[in-house]
Structure 1
């Protein structure tokens, strides 16, 4: 399958690997798209796993509804359920990075019957993140989330000068010039950056709909040079998982784990899937 629909929205999908392989859903973060998992997916295919990597809501050109309410976490998780339904899958292994990891945490907590295992890259459980805001330097690390609540200004700042600021952030975070340019060009598509930022702008709407305890086998990867996510929330995450849980710390690696460490990610995901499939 190369696409699926939900409520009139059309989502682009990269479906690869053996059709009868254990299914793994790959969920990207900001400001990426399914290309962030290309190298990981290629390696997973080599181990006999099938992957489904979607350009999520706001990123697929055919799925960019207006208004921040359209980007509440309940909508984002419902999109993944629609992907599973379209692929005729009762459940799948879920791997998410950055915002895709938040979707993964919520999906595993709210719909455990659809999630065989969870692998969260970089992001802690949302409840651990919330606690870390008042017990560590996490609020300082997350300063940009406040900026992104403002209308118009973040778009102008990030895309000024043909996307120079966004490009600089991506390059200094370790991404290749090719991938950095790809992500900048995607965010320059009509309406793309605003709908990607709508994920952040919808956060106040999610405050009364917390993500609860996760009860599926969970693998959590965190990298020590992550500029946005600190150690405190990472280490508190295990308190919100009532199932086999493993934390893997990647030393010296920046935030963009799928692109920068595809061999290690694929190795750990394959091991996790085989152990709990």
Structure 2
């Protein structure tokens, strides 16, 4: 299978051998430019960043957008243990290594943001600047879930940790359950006709749905730190004003762990802010990566 029909001019598909598996990546921009890695969330794939790739490349960045392990055209190893957060962080570092980058900028949305938080916490010397879109810091998950209303909003994540049942709920009728989840958490204009069909093609790759859910199942197996790690790299947190999954205090608490952090709430947006206000979100990302505050 190929994603060639999704590629815009200047976007270069390829593969990278990372931690014993093959990751599908899309690149754009000058290979000599500063490396920025964009990590997608659940249940998207590299195409999540379709509005950001070209502008960042035109700004001089070497943009690398992977399908994370278990998604779309990247390898999908079996078993919950293959999706431990430690491995996901190692994938990011190994991907940067494959491009010869000792230091790079990192942008993540949703699960990609969770991985980006963890990467910056554990390997601060590797990250130049960090941008997070609507993602909790995993070191603060327990604290966040002590809020009853946030626990209720996160109940879907507890459901996803169950064996077999989530697949049985989400796969039938062309992934009607996943489609409804995305539409129900977004603005009416977020997904254009055909967008969710493209996502469904990625979800339908063998083993991918279970792999995607295994991110949630592996979460309870992670080591809980005695104290949340400080985030040393300069950090920008972008948040959808109307995010139905994550409350605002999750963002504020995460920024509170940053030595140099700023929270910016994008008015009128939901969890899918990078799709709903792409020009604003891209401008904020690009300006911050260029050295803005």
Range into which the TM-score falls when normalised by the shorter chain:
over 0.9
1:237 is aligned, of 254, 259, 269, to 254
Match in the other structure for 1:180: 196
1-structure distance, mates of 2:74, 2:265: 37
1:8 is aligned, of 20, 31, 36, to 20
How many matched pairs? Answer: 276
Q: Does 1:272 align with 2:288?
A: yes
User: Taking structure 1 as the reference length, what is the TM-score of the superposition?
Assistant: 0.94
1:72-127 superposed Cα distances (whole Å, 9 cap, x missing partner): 11100100111111111111110000000011001001011111010000013223
Residue 60 of structure 1: CA displacement? Answer: 4.5
Residue 207 of structure 1: CA displacement? Answer: 4.1
Q: Is the 8 A contact 2:30 2:57 kept in 1?
A: yes
2-structure distance, mates of 1:119, 1:77: 16
Counterpart mapping for 1:50-89 below 5 A: 50-89=62-101
Residue 48 of structure 1: CA displacement? Answer: 1.7
Match in the other structure for 2:170: 158
Q: Greater CA deviation, 73-82 or 6-15?
A: 6-15
2-structure distance, mates of 1:62, 1:56: 7
2-structure distance, mates of 1:155, 1:164: 11
Residue 132 of structure 1: CA displacement? Answer: 2.0
Q: Is the 8 A contact 1:11 1:60 kept in 2?
A: no
Match in the other structure for 2:240: 223
2-structure distance, mates of 1:154, 1:135: 25
SS at match of 2:100: coil
2-structure distance, mates of 1:60, 1:162: 16
Provide structure 1 residue ranges, at least 5 long, that are not aligned to the other structure. none
Higher relative contact order (CA 8 A, sep 6+): 1
Residue 149 of structure 1: CA displacement? Answer: 1.1
User: Taking structure 2 as the reference length, what is the TM-score of the superposition?
Assistant: 0.89
2-structure distance, mates of 1:11, 1:180: 22
Q: Is the 8 A contact 2:134 2:238 kept in 1?
A: yes
Q: Greater CA deviation, 216-225 or 255-264?
A: 255-264
Provide structure 2 residue ranges, at least 5 long, that are not aligned to the other structure. 1-12
Counterpart mapping for 1:56-205 below 5 A: 56-172=68-184, 173=186, 174-205=190-221
Q: Greater CA deviation, 65-74 or 172-181?
A: 172-181
Give the root-mean-square deviation of aligned CA atoms.
1.7
1-structure distance, mates of 2:74, 2:43: 17
